[in-house]
């Protein structure tokens, strides 16, 4: 019989170190996570609705005795259907969100979508202008379409509304925050705070602590070559390796810059959500914000 207990979720946001968290948590002997990190397998999502709850728990897998069981997907945070589905299937649990400056997250997300052939423009400023335009035209949306790539690049950074759904569903005592900026600057301290919040040995040092996300190069010829053969799996693997090799050699490291004009548009878009997020953070217990610094998001001013 498949174990149906899950005690915690890492719910996102996308491009905010959730893969690093997955590997560091999976290393801990007192924690059980699914064998594979699958963003599209999560409670409330299309695959869960199609295949059912038993199928979902088979994905989670069987823990060893005494292990804390968790799951990780960035779509838990973004999909409006998930909080109610999580409560229906799992009941009370801890939900942990890793957040990042929404402007930096959108820029990083654009390159990730470009590498995955989801967006067309090689110039990120041109592509982000289109994303901003589509967000303004299509919001507010009450459904989640994973193929609305341009819209989602912007919308995934509107953290306040997404996080409020979990605070309202489970209460502020069940919601925990950590910041990408802390992961980058003090990874061990941030991870120990997370281990402590989960009730496992905080002194454990995972082998994945120094694991870095795949480093992409920004060599335009390589990007153009990659995009010219989008449906060739073998060639796609070869170009992916090429990106890693040239990046490791220190080549192609200088990514295109974000223009002042696009950056200002993004700041203006995100400011209302960031202001709401600061108020939401003030509702959480201080111990639930896993940073030694000011608990308010570091990309905001922190002013009242």
- Tell me, what's the pLDDT at 117? 86
Query: Please, what is the angle between helix 260-283 and helix 159-170, to 10°?
Result: 20
Over 80: is that where the pLDDT of 253 sits? no
Contact 43, 90 (CB under 8 A): yes
C-alpha closest to that of 129 among 118, 120, 140 = 120
- Cα 161 from Cα 273, distance rounded (Å): 7
Q: Where are the domains of the chain?
A: 8-218+255-288
Predicted confidence (pLDDT) per residue in 161-195, tens digit: 999 999 999 999 999 999 999 999 999 999 999 99
Contact 158, 77 (CB under 8 A): no
- Tell me, what's the pLDDT at 302? 47
Predicted confidence (pLDDT) per residue in 43-76, tens digit: 999 999 999 999 999 999 999 999 999 999 999 9
pLDDT, mean of residues 279-295: 97
Bond into 140 cis (ω within 30): yes
pLDDT, mean of residues 246-267: 77
- Tell me, what's the pLDDT at 248? 58
pLDDT, mean of residues 28-36: 97
pLDDT, mean of residues 291-296: 95
- Tell me, what's the pLDDT at 28? 98
- Cα 60 from Cα 5, distance rounded (Å): 10
Per-residue tokens: 274: 């960031």
Among 2.70.98.60, 1.10.3300.10, 3.40.50.300, 3.30.1330.10, what is the CATH number of 8-218+255-288?
3.40.50.300
Predicted confidence (pLDDT) per residue in 220-245, tens digit: 555 655 555 555 555 555 655 665 56
HEC assignment per residue over the chain: CCCCCCCEEECCCCCCCHHHHHHHHHHCCCEECCCCCCCCCCCCCHHHHHHCHHHHHHHHCCCCCCCEEEEECCHHHHCCCHHHHHHHHHCCCEEEEEECCHHHHHHHHHHHHHHCCCCCCCCHHHHHHHHHHHHHHHCCCCCCCCCCHHHHHHHCCCHHHHHHHHHHHHCHHHEEEEEHHHHHHCHHHHHHHHHHHHCCCCCCCCHHHHCCCCCCCCCHHHHHHHHHCCCCHHHHHHHHHHHHHHHHCCCCCCCCCCCHHHHHHHHHHHHHHHHHHHHHHHHCCHHHECCCCCCCCCCCCCCC
**β-pair partners for 177:** 97, 289
Contact 120, 254 (CB under 8 A): no
What percent of the chain is modeled with pLDDT above 90? 77
Q: Name the pTM for this structure.
A: 0.87
Over 70: is that where the pLDDT of 283 sits? yes
Predicted confidence (pLDDT) per residue in 137-156, tens digit: 998 888 999 999 999 999 99
pLDDT, mean of residues 73-98: 96
Contact 213, 14 (CB under 8 A): no
C-alpha angle 119-123-126 in degrees, rounded to nearest 5: 80
- Tell me, what's the pLDDT at 239? 56
What is the torsional sign of CA 160, 163, 166, 170? negative
């Amino acid at each position: 019989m498949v174990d149906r207990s899950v005690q915690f979720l890492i719910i996102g946001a996308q491009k905010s170190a959730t893969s690093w968290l997955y590997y560091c948590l999976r290393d801990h002997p007192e924690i059980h996570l699914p064998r594979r990190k699958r963003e599209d397998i999560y409670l409330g999502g299309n695959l869960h609705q199609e295949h059912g709850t038993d199928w979902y728990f088979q994905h989670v897998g069987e823990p060893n005795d005494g292990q804390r069981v968790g799951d990780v997907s960035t779509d838990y945070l973004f999909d409006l259907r998930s909080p109610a589905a999580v409560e229906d299937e799992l009941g009370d649990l801890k939900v942990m969100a890793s957040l990042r400056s929404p402007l930096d997250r959108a820029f990083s997300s654009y390159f990730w979508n470009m590498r995955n052939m989801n967006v067309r423009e090689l110039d990120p400023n041109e592509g982000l202008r289109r994303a901003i335009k589509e967000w303004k035209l299509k919001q507010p949306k009450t459904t989640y379409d994973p193929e609305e790539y341009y819209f989602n690049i912007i919308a995934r950074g509107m953290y306040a509304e997404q996080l409020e759904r979990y605070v309202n569903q489970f209460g502020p005592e069940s919601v925990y925050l950590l910041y990408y900026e802390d992961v980058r600057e003090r990874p061990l301290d941030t991870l120990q705070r997370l281990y402590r919040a989960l009730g496992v040995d905080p002194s454990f040092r995972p082998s994945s602590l120094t694991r870095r996300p795949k480093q992409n190069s920004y060599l335009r010829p390589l990007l153009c070559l990659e995009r010219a053969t989008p449906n060739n799996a073998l060639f796609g693997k070869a170009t992916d390796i090429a990106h890693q090799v040239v990046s490791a050699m220190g080549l192609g490291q200088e990514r295109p810059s974000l223009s002042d004009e696009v950056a200002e548009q993004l700041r203006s878009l995100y400011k209302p959500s960031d202001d709401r997020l600061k108020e939401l953070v003030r509702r959480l217990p201080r111990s639930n914000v896993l940073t030694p610094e000011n608990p308010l998001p570091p990309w905001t001013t922190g002013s009242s």
